[in-house]
Amino acid sequence: MSATTTDTPADPDIPPKDPVGPARTAPWPEDLVPVVVVNDTRPDRHYGCLAVMEALSVFLPRHGMRPIHFQPLGRDWQDDPDFAAAAANAAAIIVNGEGSMHHNKQTAIKLAWLGPFCRQTLRIPGIMLNTTLEANDGTVYDHLRHFSLVAVRDRASIAEPLRFGLADPFYCPDFSMFHDFRSARTAPPARPPKVIGYTDSVLRAITMHLRAAAATHGMIFRNVLYKPPPPARAIYHYARNIGALDLLVTGRYHACCYAIATGTPFVAVESNTGKITNLLNDVFGSTRRLITPEALASFDPAEYAGWTPEEEASLARFVTLREQSYDRLGRLVGALAGVTSRFAAP
């Protein structure tokens, strides 16, 4: 049986980048504190990144801040006059760490440099949100130490910075799960699963395993990447596509986030960092739903059908935890953005 497709794009290859679009058409209220958001990942044309950025566009005003500039992924802030002009009028710089801060990548180093730049040059708070920290050395953490706040999206990202002397980071789940997607699922998942979907992986070798499994089980492709223009209410469109499944098989971190947020059972293969493992441990305290790429050839979808009672209880706890975490983090970030006197020049 061959894999079939739906109205999501059928080409699993990563499309070319495109310029970041405006975050909002209506003006921000003028009484909100101006901030600059760095590492806007929407140019990746990725439903997960889009959900993160749309969440930040709600989260920040809710806590008293208005973005006056979004610095897109891939555009070096150090050489950008638009960033410089906006930063000169900002009360804080908000960095969306997301999947950029690992293995001493050049992107990780450049984003980390914003810490000392904010503290020493701009004299305003630098705030890093929504990041995984993995396999970085002291150079990255020496710079991260200058941020007024670092918030990680998984608890596993707390240990490494602590070893390098960084103050205890704040844990808050990934912002793609900030949205309430629970209505995207209209019926309980079938046992055994009848409608099975799959995504690719950021790693091409794993994508080949996923495609082979899809051909075996007649899976529907649920591409986490989109071709412009995105569908109307794009993140809810994708949430409905995931919520219509009885089971998702994926190598994408943000597809796992959509599955958790919609209550869709899934089985995953690890990505380019341990972020899926970390997510599963944070939500379920278990990696039962993680398998190796080689195991895809012989896995039985029925083993992952529905949720166990323990998983259902974990999901319910996680919904409460993430709502509380977003609220606590918002109050912390808002307070920092409104309190800049500690960085004022003597």
C-beta of residue 284 within 8 angstroms of C-beta of residue 301? no
**Bridge partner list, 305:** none
Class of domain 33-176+322-343: alpha beta
What average pLDDT does range 237-265 have in this prediction? 98
**DSSP-assigned letter for residue 37:** E
The single residue listed with the structure tokens 């971190």 is: 253
Count other Cβ atoms within 10 Å, centred on residue 274: 17
The single residue listed with the structure tokens 């005003």 is: 61
Is the pLDDT reported for residue 277 higher than 50?
yes
Task: Give CA separation, 54 vs 63, 121, 154, in Å.
Answer: 15, 29, 20
What average pLDDT does range 102-125 have in this prediction? 97
Cα angle 178, 181, 183 (rounded to 5 degrees) comes to 150
C-beta of residue 199 within 8 angstroms of C-beta of residue 210? yes
The single residue listed with the structure tokens 């994926």 is: 250
Residues of the chain with CATH 3.40.50.2300: 33-176+322-343
Whole-number Å distance between alpha carbons of 292 and 262 = 24
C-beta of residue 206 within 8 angstroms of C-beta of residue 287? no
Split at pLDDT 50, 70, 90, the class of 167 is: confident
> Would you identify the CATH topology of the domain 182-321?
Rossmann fold (3.40.50)
CB proximity list for 7: less than 8 A, separation 6 or greater = 231
pLDDT in tens, 189-210: 999 999 999 999 999 999 999 9
Whole-number Å distance between alpha carbons of 35 and 290 = 38
Average pLDDT, the chain: 90
pLDDT in tens, 8-44: 333 333 233 333 333 444 555 667 899 999 999 999 9
Residue 277 CB-half CA count within 13 A: 10
- pLDDT of 27 reads 55
**DSSP-assigned letter for residue 249:** E
Is the pLDDT reported for residue 2 higher than 50?
no
